[in-house]
Amino acid sequence: MGMNSAAYLDHNATTTLRPEAAAAVRGGLGLTGNPSSVHRFGRLVRRAIEDARDAVAALVGARPAEVVLTSGGTEANNLAIRGVCERRVLASAVEHPSVLGAADAIAQVPVDGDGVVDLAALTDLLAADTAPALVSVMLANNETGVVQPLASVAEIAHSHGAVLHCDAVQAAGKIAFDYRNLGVDLLTLSAHKLGGPAGVGALVIAGDVAVTAVNCGGGQERGFRAGTENAAGIAGFGAAAAVATSGLPAFAELARWRDRIEQRIAEAASVQVFGAGTERLPNTSCLAMPGVDSETQVMAFDLAGIAVSAGSACSAGKVEPSHVLDAMGVDAAEADCAIRVSLGWDSTEADAERFIDAWIKLYQRLGDAPTTAMAV
Ligand code: PLP
């Protein structure tokens, strides 16, 4: 990437559309017909949707019949939490707002200093009340990239008769996993986090789980989600899922640049990397620049042609204290200095180098380092 072009390092907010997905969207837009119509026009659109469903299912090891297509991760999370309505809901304290905000009385399960869900606390919360529960724990966190021990969570949840929902929006296409091996009953996916268009997602629903529709009406998606399908978006989702599946080894390589960023910055300053003590996604780094608040950093990096985010970019525009860092016990002053850097499938080594240079320059200009620490 040339010096004058921008470096986009905010892929957890939304990632670059894969060319294959763009082509599939264009193809879908070229089709006339309602997928519920029985004539040949309708059948062609139906075919495009079912091909995409197959690819999405394959990405996570589900059966196509378990995949309910939605308008995105937020809707899928709402369908999971609200659709299993007879149960009390327990969710980790670091879940996305589309989980934590989907019901009124959600009991929060604490996390440790690295952001990993406290399994003993989960066990206690489940044991304390025999009413049937729905447990919601994400596979990877959007702000820190921290990966949760879902298999252990599943064991605990199921031994207490709970249904387990997993928001895998940030994990899908970034790390390999199989939804059946994880032991998850409900799994949320979103197209625009893995190279597809925004406004499309899915909830994978295991066969034996009772879910009531939130969107009611036409009976599409086997009654789980009424509304004429967004065929073009869904086609893009399918194409992106297929490429993401084959792109997993390349995505894992991003960890080298992520680690290089963290190492070089650690040489320049005593930075805190949140969640660094546990397993993380290969592309994500949440780090604090001592003495410089995150809003200032985001603006300064933007002036330098680098896009990063402060706190959670999913709550776009408004910079609020991160509930994720707060749940990890990070003190407010330090959390105020945290930004998220997230690499994507089209990130280059030059992007990483450019960020490192800009970070060090900014820290030397505005950071709280004594001058002796600036010999970089
Ligand atoms: N869950 C997580 C972990 C996310 O990072 C996001 C990001 O927006 C969502 C859910 C919501 O997905 P969508 O943007 O498709 O509604």
CATH of the domain at 149: 3.40.640.10
pLDDT for 2? 44
CA-to-CA separations, 353 to 2, 123, 187, 264, 269, in angstroms, rounded: 12, 44, 36, 10, 17
Q: 289 and 326: one domain? A: yes
Phi-psi label, residue 291: left if phi above 0, alpha if psi -120 to 50, beta otherwise: left
- Of the pLDDT bands very low, low, confident and very high (cuts 50, 70, 90), residue 321 is confident
Confidence (pLDDT) at 374: 45
Q: Is 314 in the pocket of ligand 1 (CB under 6 A)?
A: yes
Claim to verify: residue 121 and residue 164 sit in the same structural domain: yes
Q: CA 303, CA 129: separation in Å to the nearest integer? A: 53
Please identify, by atom number, the ligand 1 atom nearest to the C-alpha of residue 198: 15
Q: What pLDDT is recorded for position 326? A: 96
Contact in structure between 24 and 238 (CB atoms under 8 Å) = yes
89 plus 189 within the same structural domain: yes
- The whole-number average pLDDT for the span 92-112 is 96
Residues 148, 181 within the same domain: yes
User: Which residue intervals of the chain are DSSP H helices?
Assistant: 19-29, 40-60, 73-83, 97-100, 119-127, 150-159, 179-182, 231-246, 248-252, 254-268, 294-303, 323-327, 332-335, 349-366
190 within ligand 1 shell (Cβ under 6 A): yes
Between strands 133-136 and 163-167, the pairing is parallel
One domain for residues 257 and 363: yes
Same structural domain, 129 and 110: yes
Q: Does 371 have pLDDT greater than 90?
A: no
Pull the structure tokens for residue 20.
């294959």
How far is the C-alpha of 120 from the C-alpha of 115, rounded, in Å?
Answer: 14
Residue 314 bears catalytic tag: yes
pLDDT, tens digit, 9 for 90 and up, residues 3-58: 457 999 999 999 999 999 999 999 999 999 999 999 999 999 999 999 999 999 99
Residue with the larger pLDDT of the pair 349 and 371: 349
The DSSP bridge partners found for residue 165 are 136, 186
**Closest residue (by CA) to atom 9 of ligand 1?**
73
Pocket test for ligand 1, best of 78, 81, 169 (most atoms within 8 A of CB): 169
Give the position of tokens 């990993």. 116
Instruction: Please state, in angstroms and rounded to a whole number, the distance separating the CA atoms of residues 247 and 239.
Output: 12
- What is the mean pLDDT of the segment spanning 222-227? 96
Residue where a domain terminates, one of 246, 273, 306: 246
167 Cβ closer than 6 Å to some ligand 1 atom: yes
Mean pLDDT of 237-247: 97
Its pTM stands at 0.95
Q: Which of 209, 227, 246 is the last residue of a domain?
A: 246
Closest to 343 measured CA to CA, from 5, 6, 3, 10: 10
Is the confidence at residue 376, as pLDDT, over 50?
Answer: no
- Terminal-to-terminal C-alpha distance of the chain: 24
Return the CATH number at 265.
3.90.1150.10
> How does pLDDT run across 261-274, given as a tens digit for each residue?
999 999 999 999 99
**Structural domain that includes position 307:** 3-15+249-373
Is the pLDDT at 296 greater than 80? The verdict is yes
Number of folded domains that form the chain? 2
Asked if residue 140 lies in contact with residue 165, where contact means CB atoms within 8 angstroms, the answer is no
Out of 180, 214, 246, a domain closes at 246
SS3 241: helix
Q: Letter for the amino acid at 308?
A: V
Same domain, 84 and 186: yes
Q: Does 90 share its domain with 238? A: yes
Domain co-membership, 87 together with 154: yes
Query: Is the domain of 8 the same as that of 41?
Result: no
* Ligand 1 site, residue 298, Cβ cutoff 6 A: no
Q: How far is the CA of 5 from the centre of ligand 1 (A)?
A: 28
Q: Is 113 left (phi over 0), alpha (psi -120 to 50) or beta?
A: alpha
- Which residue's C-alpha comes closest to atom 5 of ligand 1? 142
Q: CB–CB of 125/106 below 8 Å?
A: no
The finding on whether 73 has its CB within 6 A of some atom of ligand 1 is yes
Q: Which residue has the tokens 């724990």?
A: 137
Residue nearest to atom 7 of ligand 1 (CA): 314
The amino acid at residue 40 is: R
Task: Assess whether 238 and 260 both reside in one domain.
Answer: no
Token look-up 């893009």 returns: 236
Task: Kindly state whether residues 182 and 253 are assigned to the same domain.
Answer: no
**Residue of 314, 324, 342 with the most ligand 1 atoms within 8 Å of its CB, for mutation:** 314
